[in-house]
Amino acid sequence: MSARAGIVVTGTEVLSGIIPDANGPWLAGELRERGVQLAHVVIVGDRPDDVRAALEFLGRERVDLAITSGGLGPTADDLTADVVAEFAGREMVLDEALEGRIWDIVAPMRSRWPDADEGAMRAGASKQARVPRGATVLEPVGTAPGLVVPPAEGAEGPTVLVLPGPPRELRPMWAAGVETRAVRRALAGAGRYEQRIMRLYGIPEAELAATLRDLEAQGVPMADLEITTCLRRGEIEVATVFEPAAADEYATFEAGIRSRHGDTLFATDGETIDEIVRDLLLGGDGAPTFTIATAESCTGGLMAARLTDLAGSSAYVAGGVVAYANDAKVAMAGVPAELIARHGAVSPQVADALAAGARSRFGADVGVGITGVAGPGGGTPEKPVGTVCLTVDGVDGTEAREARTVHLAGDRADIRERTTVVAMHMLRRVLLAVR
């Protein structure tokens, strides 16, 4: 790839792990789409020396574009603009027109914070309007303007695109930033690249590694494919980047994976299991929409939340019950109390009853029942932490249903999340059988 970029994420709160960084991953995807190679993401605190060192590192690594995120707020510890100005060899100046525009944004907020001090808010706006001389200002989406800062005349180094930290502000301002002349010039060498993602579920990563070696040994051409495999919560992702000219090579590679692992390959075009399940539920093209309902215990609402995460899910999600207490399993999901007494709340029988209860209570076509031990407490020798019973109860008039008991590793959060992964894949199989 001919254009190369680096990202500097600033903020002690991100560096110290208090806030997860949403911007690096998002910017990475944007760069990839534009055929720009991302070399490094550097996360630094709000210490000016460390921010400067990160920029200098990217300069030494000869990136064409350095993107910074964060450190543009109204408080004194927000100093990205100053450091970038120094890095680019430019002095800071007050942009009075910009100050006025920021104040126009900030002033109406006083109604939301009636006790706020106007002087403090004016000082913040003024601070945010100080910019490196010669920089292009990106209009604020929140209150902080962004900046495009090329190196000073005659100097070498990357162009710096300075963006605010909140993702809601950064994303539209990135879109504006890449359209500026300075950024377009910096990225002029970028080629066009394609990325494809295959996803597999139910095979070990080493098995896939063996397949890759095998394909290579058999002379399947893969030299122009940059292939990365990774294990992600029980699913294996095979991400491949290639130039358009290598499209045939990729097609052969994909066919090789499909012929060996067709039973576990569930996505070849980057679709997530959530999107696949959505599409199966939605039907379309003459197929009916199936409605779904959940009755979950250990996942405590995560399964319903996952199903309703996608826009438009109200077309097929009827609802769900979080039957955390045993009484709730009986009263709200219709699980016979004697079933719980005889087999225990974590049992295939109760998972079956939860799935059936979800279907009938919500009048849904498909029911999902989940009961398990998420831990850290509650495990027994017979049913240790990580034991989860799941049932997907299929559509009337079909035999489609699936029930599994799994033993998941990890902590409480892992077990809860992985349970939803297992359930999504069970749902896919049941829905495929019905269609």
Restricted to residues 1-30, the positions that interact with a copy of itself (CB under 8 A) are 11-13, 15-21, 24-29
197 binds a copy of itself (CB under 8 A): yes
39 to 78: interface string for a copy of itself, x by CB under 8 A: xxxxxxxx---x--xx--x---x-----------xxxxx-
Q: Could you give the CA distance from residue 176 to residue 182 in angstroms, rounded to a whole number? A: 12
Tell me if residue 392 falls in helix, strand or coil.
Answer: strand
Residue numbers 252-271 binding a copy of itself by CB under 8 A: none
Residue 277 token pair: 């399940």
Residue numbers 91-110 binding a copy of itself by CB under 8 A: 106, 109
Q: How many residues does the chain have?
A: 435
Give 112 or 284: the residue with its C-beta nearer to a copy of itself: 112
Min CB(134)–a copy of itself separation in Å:
28
243 binds a copy of itself (CB under 8 A): no
> Which of 64, 68, 124, 149 is close enough to bind a copy of itself by CB under 8 A?
124
- The answer to whether 88 touches 150, Cβ cutoff 8 Å, is yes
- Secondary structure element (H or E) that encloses residue 101, with its range: helix 96-106
Give 96 or 309: the residue with its C-beta nearer to a copy of itself: 309
Burial 315-353 (b: 16+ CB within 10 A, else e): ebbbbbbbbeebeebbebbbbeeebbeeebbbbbbbbbb
Min CB(75)–a copy of itself separation in Å:
4
> Which of 205, 248, 269, 275 is close enough to bind a copy of itself by CB under 8 A?
205
Give 152 or 308: the residue with its C-beta nearer to a copy of itself: 308
> Given the DSSP bridges, would you call strands 136-138 and 146-149 parallel, antiparallel or unpaired?
antiparallel
Give 313 or 405: the residue with its C-beta nearer to a copy of itself: 313
Min CB(423)–a copy of itself separation in Å:
13
Q: Could you give the CA distance from residue 255 to residue 334 in angstroms, rounded to a whole number? A: 47
- DSSP character at residue 313: G
Residue numbers 334-363 binding a copy of itself by CB under 8 A: 361-363
- The answer to whether 97 touches 137, Cβ cutoff 8 Å, is no
